[in-house]
Amino acid sequence: MTSFGYFLACEEFTPAQLLQQARRAADAGFTRLAISDHFHPWTGIQGNSPFVWSMIGALSQTVDLPVTTLVTCPTVRLHPAVTAQAAATSSVLLEGRFTLGVGTGEALNEHVLGDRWPAFEERADMLAEAVEVMRKLFTGGQISHRGRHYTVDNARLYTAPEAPLPVLVSGFGPKSAALAGRIGDGFVTMSPDGEAIGNFREAGGAGKPVVGGLKVCWDRDREAAVESAHRIWATEHLPGELNQILPTPAHFEQASELVTPRQVAESVPCGSNADEHVDAIRAYVEAGFDEVYVGQIGQHQEDFFTAYREKVLPALLA
C-alpha cells in the first residue's frame, strides 16, 4: 500500500519554518518526511538553503516520522566517507527511521569548491563507487578503499547504524534508472513514468520500493496559486539536463524566463479543488510508487495541511 509523506523544501523555507511544517505534517496524517539537500536554492526568490544534516538532527527531536533525503549527492561537495558519517548519525538519531536517497547531483550545488563538473557517465561511475564506500562504512568495521575516484584510509564509523541503512538512487532517464536498479535499495523519480520504473525493475529493481513526489500550491484563489507556483518553482519545468548543468541561481532565473504560467497551470495542482490534488497524487499510486511525497509551494501552509487532513488524504486512503 502506498504511503504519503510531506516534502520539506530547504530551498524555499527557513529552518524554523521547516520544523513547523514537519509538526503540521504529522498532525495532518502524513506518515513520512522527505527533505532536499542543496547548497544553493534554484533561484534567489526561493531564498533559503539550510544544511540538511543539521535539519535532520533537529527533525529527529521534533517528530517521530521517518525521514528520507531526496536527494543527497555524495560524490563532489562531500566525500562519501563524510556523507556516510552524516547518514549513520542521522539513522541513530532517528532510531533506524532514516533512508539515504542519493543522486548524481547538480552543478548548482557541487561546483562550489571549484571542482570540475563531469559528464553524466563519469558522475554515475562516481556515484556507484560512493555507494560502495558508504555501505562498507555502514557496517561499523574499519575499512580502506582505493578506487578510481575515492580513497579511504583506515576509516571506521564508531557511531554506525544499528541495522542496514537503505540507500535509494535517483534517476530520470533510462541510464540512471538502470543504475538505480543495479546499485540501489530503491528508486527515486519525480514523475509517474511507467517506462522509467520498468527500466529500474528490469535492471535489478524488482521488489524494491519506488519513491517520488510532486509539488502543489493550495490556495483558495487558483490564479494566485498559479502565480506563486510559477514565480517560486518555474525551475521544475525546465527541459532536459538543464537542472544538472546550470551552475548558479542566476542562470536558473534566466532559463526560467522560458517557462510560462500556462505550463505551470497545466502540470501543477493549483487552487483548492481537492479532486485535482487527489487525481495528481493518485497517478503516482497507479504507476506503482510505494511512497509519494507532497510539497506545498508558498505561504498558505495552514490551509494546505487542513485541506489534506480533511479532504485529500482521506480520499487517497479510502
Enumerate the active-site residues: 38, 106
174 close to 197: Cβ distance less than 8 angstroms = no
Report the candidate in 179, 69, 75 with the shortest Cα–Cα distance to residue 117.
Answer: 75
d(CA 102, CA 179): 12
| Of residues 45, 56, 44, the one with CA closest to residue 91 | 56
Q: How many CB atoms sit inside 10 A of residue 306's CB?
A: 15
CA distance 263 to 290: 28
Are 96 and 161 in contact, with CB atoms under 8 Å apart? Answer: yes
- The helix (H) or strand (E) run that includes residue 242 is helix 242-245
Rounded CA-CA distance 165/186 in Å is 12
Task: Locate 46 and state its grid cell.
Answer: 526561493
Quick check: helix, strand or coil at residue 146? strand
Nearest CA among 212, 223, 215 for reference residue 297: 215
CB atoms within 10 A of CB 54: 11
